[in-house]
Chains A and B, each alone.
Chain A
Amino acid sequence: MVRRPSPRARAAQWLLLAIVVAVAWYLGSQAAANIARRHATFGFVFLFENTNFDIPFRLIPWSVGDTYGRALLVCVLNTLLVAAMSIVAATLLGLLVGVMRLSANWLVRNIALGFIELVRNTPQLVQIIFWYVAVLQTLPGPRQSITLPAGTLLNVRGIYLPSFAPGGGADVLWPLALAVLLATPFVWRLRWRGLPLGSRSLLVSLLSVLLFAGGIDHIDYPALRGFNIAGGIQVVPELVALWAGLTIYAAAFIAEIVRAAILSVHKGQREAALSLGLKPRQVLSKIILPQALRVMIPPMTSQYLNIIKSSSLGAAVAYPELFQIFAGTVLQQTARELETMFLLMAIFLAINLATSALMNWYNHRVALVER
């Protein structure tokens, strides 16, 4: 504490509070008057009313006529899907570009630099629309689909991935596989003597994969039937464009974070590891990156939050996420500006707070391991 505030300042802060409350009260009363003038009410009962629009992409079943509440759930899941996909991909790509940026090879180093500068200095919205309109929309139609490895098809209607058709035991085995996978972090806490930590979680993951494989009847490959592709999982181009836009933009920022974090590890660590006979790749993965990770986590958290917030840009390519459906379709149909905007902001805030709490917990844990 530098200095105790004067009594006058203490009194003045109450005046500030009074002004804030007065402004809020004034705005609230105006809103109430305007709503009353329209013969409308404020409330969230409309979430139980039935809709009459379709949501073209969803993870859970949806049909026209379901309630607005279910639409909210569908959209939240769509937002979470694209955010999670982008966070994983951006972390991997950012790690790669960040390491490339420090490569001994001049070409590799400068390609990484060019990528970062190009991506960081152009608007994200332009990038997303570019991927959608200039790349994905120019792909050939279903009849001239491009065949990618592992039976994946690519055309103007999106990417078609092979899917696993559930067999007889899938109802039991697949949830079990998921449960085992989710339990992996807790296995770290168990004390199995003689087994290093890495192989323990590897064993658990293997068990999970085996359980999953047990439930598979056959693999459903996408194929052309008539004028369209049947079978497999269709990933709509809107999702691909948004995913690419979010991933590439964030990856450029993450690459710089990774680079700074690696440079922050004292070079003596690297020299000591090399003199102990570790190979350069081992030095990177076992000595440098684990230490750099600790420095990376706080700035990475804010990049992850940026990805979640930017997922609202899906509105520009009509990916049915929270913002596109609720600030668009729902707002137009119900004319409930206040409620929809409140819902949108509250949900984004909640997702962000949850993510940052999770990252803080992880940060705390990584810091503890250090001792």
Chain B
Amino acid sequence: MSATAEERLSLRRNFAPGTPGALAIEWLRRNLFGSVFNTLLTLAVVALAALILPPLFRWGIAQASLSGTSRAACTGDGACWTFIRVRLPLFFYGRYPSSEYWRVDLVGVLLVAFCVPALRDNVRHRWLWLLLLLALFPALASLLLWGGAFGLDYVDTTLWGGLMLDVIISFVTVAGSLPLGILLALGRRSQLPIVRVLSVGYIELWRGVPLLTVLFMSAVLVPLFLPQGVSVDRLLRAMAALVLFNAAYMAEVVRGGLQGVDSRQEEAAYSLGLRWWHVQGFIVLPQALRIVVPGIINTVVDLFKDTTLVTIIGLFDLLGAVEQALKDPAWLGFATEGYVFSALVFFVCCYAMSSYGRSMERRLARGQ
């Protein structure tokens, strides 16, 4: 059947060069059907998607259950998100007493409130905000989380858990390992032989062993090195191990930045009569740290993901909480839901951080 003159006219109008229709066709031709091989690839991908996506959609959304409070609510063939919904407090707060959840929430709000001004661009007094984030915030947060003063009930660290624990551990690790890493990076470039050898030895030793052995060492070996009768909280030991371990990685990132600063900057500063600490602190480091912000964010993302390893030494972070919930006899058999949920939570957090890092990188590349 041939098209009427009117239809042909409208077709020609819709696909004239420069109109949206023509642009769409041009885009399709260039991106999906450019050559025979390309067309075959497109068809193969579409076929694969048709094979995988519908069952995934049925399992995750169409036939999944979300309502109800017990196992009986999961009647469909799909995922049982009810399990996740019911256990959500455990996943986020661990075994923290539920009457005190507001304290954790408040710490979360404070974290965002301190982070936003410190991380946005074009903020006045950025260094002041960073200082507040690294000094005032930890003090407030530990007071709120631990309690035991100002009428707040004491909450032992053994009750801390879930995603909250991942965030706390990550924050402490970053705040501790960044300064230590900067010192180590400066030490590795030092002209004092002993300082240099010690720094190189420290960095290469920690980078050569798996994080798991370091965490395990903090769990089983530290008591051996402490005087009799002295014991340190398990969580604090793990945090200390993570700080020492990640400092080596931070040091290598910062060293990359130090190498990126033109050595003439340093020479000029020395010729003006500045001392070593002043040259490093006022001339070299501000420029070097600016270059390595994306690298530091990558390291932060990595260490945030690595906080899941504390599960293996018996702390209940998000993954540990999920594993604990999976062992509950009332909710057996929802392992897939549990792990998919924890992967999603981590994905959201890490993707947000990496996106910020990439936008930072682009800004730096533009020379701002």
Contacts and interface: CB of A to CB of B under 8 A. Distances in A.
A138 B339 CA distance: 14
Given A9-B276, A13-B195, A107-B41, A31 B342 contact: no
Interface stretch (B63-71, B144-152, B216-224, B232-240): B216-224
A16 B195 contact: yes
B194 A13 contact: yes
A295 to B, nearest CB: 16
Contacts of B336: 130, 133-134, 138
Nearest to A281: B37
A14 B195 CA distance: 9
Contacts of A352: 208
Contacts of B211: 309
B23 interface: no
A353 interface: yes
Contacts of A16: 194-195, 198
Contacts of B228: 33-34, 37
B308 interface: yes
A189 interface: no
Q: Which 7 pairs across A and B sit closest by C-beta, in order of nearness?
A: A106-B31, A121-B350, A309-B210, A123-B305, A134-B336, A312-B210, A13-B194
A344 B213 contact: yes
B268 to A, nearest CB: 11
Nearest to B323: A129
B225 A30 contact: yes
A315 interface: yes
Contacts of A33: 228
A315 B190 CA distance: 39
Contacts of A348: 208-210, 213
Nearest to A349: B208
Interface string B24-60: 0000001110110010011001100000000000000
A310 B225 contact: no
11 contacts: A5-B192, A34-B225, A105-B31, A105-B42, A117-B351, A121-B301, A121-B347, A122-B347, A123-B343, A125-B319, A309-B209
Interface string B255-279: 0000000010011001000001000
Contact of A103 (B41, B194, B339, B351): B41
Contacts of A35: 224
Interface string A116-152: 0110111111110110011001100000000000000
B212 A315 contact: yes
A59 interface: no
A344 B305 CA distance: 23
B2 interface: no
A2 B267 contact: yes
Interface in A70-122: 103-108, 111, 117-118, 120-122
Contacts of A13: 192-195
A122 B343 contact: yes
Given A309-B211, A327-B213, 16 more contacts: A3-B270, A4-B191, A5-B276, A17-B198, A34-B228, A35-B224, A104-B31, A105-B38, A120-B354, A121-B301, A123-B343, A125-B308, A130-B339, A305-B208, A344-B209, A349-B208
B18 interface: no
A187 interface: no
Nearest to B35: A104
Contacts of B335: 133-134, 137
Interface string A313-325: 1011000000100
B276 A310 contact: no
Given A107-B45, A316-B312, A345 B221 contact: no
Contacts of A138: 336
A20 B301 contact: no
A73 B295 CA distance: 38
Nearest to A14: B194
A167 B233 CA distance: 61
A187 B41 CA distance: 39
Given A129-B339, A349-B209, A118 B224 contact: no
Contact of A341 (B216, B263, B306, B346): B216
Contacts of B225: 27, 30-31, 34
